[in-house]
Structure 1
Amino acid sequence: MAERETSRDIDRAASEWTARLDRGPLTPEEDAAFQAWLGGDPRSRGALLRAQALSIMSESARALGPRFDPSAFEEPKRPAAARLSRRQALTWTGGTVAVLASLVALGVGMPASGAVISTGRGEIRLVPLKDGSTVLLNTESSVRVRFDEGERLVTLLRGEAYFSVARDERRPFIVEVDGRRLHTTQAGFRVRKLDADPVDILVQRGQVDLAALALTANTRLTLVDSTERPQPITPEAVTRELAWRDGKLAFEGETLKQAADSFARYSDTRILIGDPGLAREPVTGLFAANDPVGFSRAIARVFDARLEQRGDDVVLTRRAAPHPF
C-alpha cells in the first residue's frame, strides 16, 4: 500500500506544478500526470490554489519552485522602523504624539467633527482621529465622526471598518450601527454592515460592550435578533477575516460563489459561474482583492473549467466531457 503523502509533500508538488504551468501549455503527457496528481488526494486542489494565489500576487510562479512554504501566508513579522507603517498605525495603542506625527508624515488628514468619510469601490482608506485612534475603511464604506467632551462617537453608515481605539478613560469610544451602540475604552475590532447581511462584529483585541454583552478578543457577534450571543473564533480565522486590510481576500473552504461575491465588492469586473456544481466547489487561498481575473484563471486551472471574458464579466463554466466513441 502506497504511503500517504504529507502536507509538505503536497505543497511542494503544488509549487512545482504552478511553476511548470507558468512556463506555458502542458504536453499531453504532462497534462495527464497533472490531472492524476490533482485527483489523487483531496488536499491537492487546495494546495494548488494556495500556490497559484501566491504566484498571482508575486507575479511570478517561477519564484516558488521547490522552496515554496505555506507559511508565506502567515502574518509577517515586521522589523522596527523609524517611520510608522499603515499596519503599525492600525495596531498602535499608545504614544499619541508619535502616531499623529507619523500620520501627518504619511499625508493623512484628520476629519472635523461631524464629517462624513467615504470610500469608493476598491478603495481602502485610513482615517486618523484626534484622540490617536484610527479607522480603516474598506471598499464602499462610510462613517460619520462626532467627538465632544463627553464621548467619541463614530457612526458606521454602510460598509466595513476596522477601529483601532486609543485609551481615554474620560471619554468612551462608541461605534453606532443600525441604532445600536458598541462601547470600548481600548480595543481593535471590525464592524461590517452590508445591504444583504446582518451587522457583523469581530473583536481582535481588547473588549467591546454591547448593552449587557461583553465581546472579548477573538470573538464574533452577528446581530440577527435579540437572542444573539458572542461566538469564539480562532486567531487564524480572525486573520483571514481581516486580510482586506492588506488588500487581500483569504478563503478557507468557502464556495466559489461566495468567493465571487467577495471579489464583486472590490471591482467592476464580475465573476459569473455558469454551472451550479462549479459554484459550490470549495476555495482555499490568499488572493489580491483587486485581481478577479487572476483569481479566475487559477480557478479555471484547478477545477478544469473554461474561462471567457465578456466585457467586464469573467465567465467560468465546466468543460464539456468528451463523447465516448
Structure 2
Amino acid sequence: MTVLVSGATSQIGRYLLPRLLQAGIPVLAVSRQPQPSQPGVEWWTGDLGDALSSFQGQTWQAIVSFTSMEGWLPWLAAQDSAPAPRIIATSSMSVVTKESSAQSDEQAVVAWLRRGETGLTTQAERLGMQWTILRPTLIYGAGIDKSLTPIVARARRARLFPIPMAHGMRQPVHADDIAQAVVAALHTDATAGKVVEIGGGERLHYAEMFRRVHASMAERTLPVPLPQALLRLLAAAVPRARGPVSRLQQDLIADNGPLRALLGIHPRPFQPDAGAWVPLSRNEALARIEAAAS
C-alpha cells in the first residue's frame, strides 16, 4: 500500500522520498507547487486541506506529515474510521526550548506546536491509529532551512561571516537522519504512542557550530567574532532579538537515547560541506544517499 506524505518537498521530504522508493514503497506526495514526474511517486498539487478533501474514503499504509499538525485536525475529526494504521509527524524541540521564553511571539509558537501535538494524538487515538511524533533540533542538509543557510547566503554577499561568541550547546541534525528515523518508525511498533526527540550526533558550543559552517563554505569570507557585550547591546536595541540572544548561552539539545534504543538510528556528527547550503533536488538527494551507502 501507498504512504501519503505531506510536505514532500520540505528538507526532510527531499530525503524521505528516495528512501521510501529504495524500500519499494509507493508514495502519494502532496506539494503546493507542480513537481516533475517520478517513478513510484504520485504527486497531488495544492493545499493540504484541498488534498485531504479529495482523498475522502481512501486508505494508506501510513501517513507521514512534515507540515503543520493543526492542518490535519479538521479532516481527522471528520473521519469515522482510520485512514491509515499509523501516522508519523514532525514537531520541534522548540516546544521544550522556548517554553520559558518571555517573548510573546515565541510563546505563540510553543502554544501552536502543543495544540498540534495534542490534537493529532487525540484524533489518532480516537481512530485507533498508532502515532509517533518526532521532535528534531535545528535541521540542516538540504539548503532550504531558515536557520543556517540564510546566514551563509548573507556571508556570501557581504564577504563577512559573523561568529557569536556564545557557549550554549547546539545539536544540529541532518535532514536525512530524520528521514531514516521516519522509515524505521514505519517498520516497527516500538515508537507507537511516543514523542521521540532527535538531535544530531554531536553537541557543540554555539560558536563552534558557526566556525564549522564558516569552514564549510566554498567562498572565502572574513570571520567576525561577535563578543557577548555586543550581543547584549543588540538585544537591548532590537526587541525581537531578545529571545534568540537570551538563548545563546542555553543548551538547546535533544536526548537521542530513545531514538537509538527504539529505532536504531545514530545521527551523524556535524561535519557540513559546501553542498549543505545549496538547495537540494530529489535526484541529488538520491545520489547522496547512494554515495553514503557505498
Bigger helix fraction: 2
TM-score (norm 1): 0.22
TM-score (norm 2): 0.24
Bigger strand fraction: 1
